[in-house]
Amino acid sequence: MSWDQYITSLMAATDGVSHVSGAAICGQDGSPWAASDNMKCITPEEVKKLIGDTSTFHQSGPVVAGMKCMMIRDQYDDPSSYCLQLKSRKDADGNTFNICVGKTTTAVVIAKGTKEANGGQVTAKVYTIVSYLRGAGY
| pLDDT exceeds cutoff 90 at 101 | yes
Q: Is pLDDT at 4 greater than 70 in this prediction?
A: yes
Tally DSSP H helices, then E strands, for the chain: 3, 7
Superfamily of domain 3-11+19-135: Dynein light chain 2a, cytoplasmic (3.30.450.30)
Going by the DSSP 8-state scheme, the letter that residue 87 receives in this structure is E
pTM assigned to the model: 0.94
Comparing CA positions, the residue from 83, 46, 76, 40 lying closest to residue 61 is 46
In angstroms, the CA 47 to CA 14 distance is: 27
Q: How many residues does the chain have?
A: 138
Query: For the chain, what is the radius of gyration of the CA atoms?
Result: 13
pLDDT digits (tens, 9 = 90+) for 49-94: 999 999 888 888 899 999 999 999 999 989 888 999 999 999 999 9
Q: How many Cα atoms within 13 Å fall on the side-chain side of residue 61? A: 18
List the chain domain ranges: 3-11+19-135
User: Averaged over 18-22, what is the pLDDT?
Assistant: 96
Positive or negative: CA dihedral 99, 38, 35, 56: negative
Model pLDDT for residues 36-52, shown as the tens digit of each residue: 999 999 999 999 999 99
d(CA 49, CA 51): 5
Do the beta carbons of residue 38 and residue 22 sit within 8 Å?
A: yes
- Are 45 and 30 a contacting pair, CB within 8 Å? yes
Could you give phi then psi for residue 37, rounded to 5 degrees? -55, -40
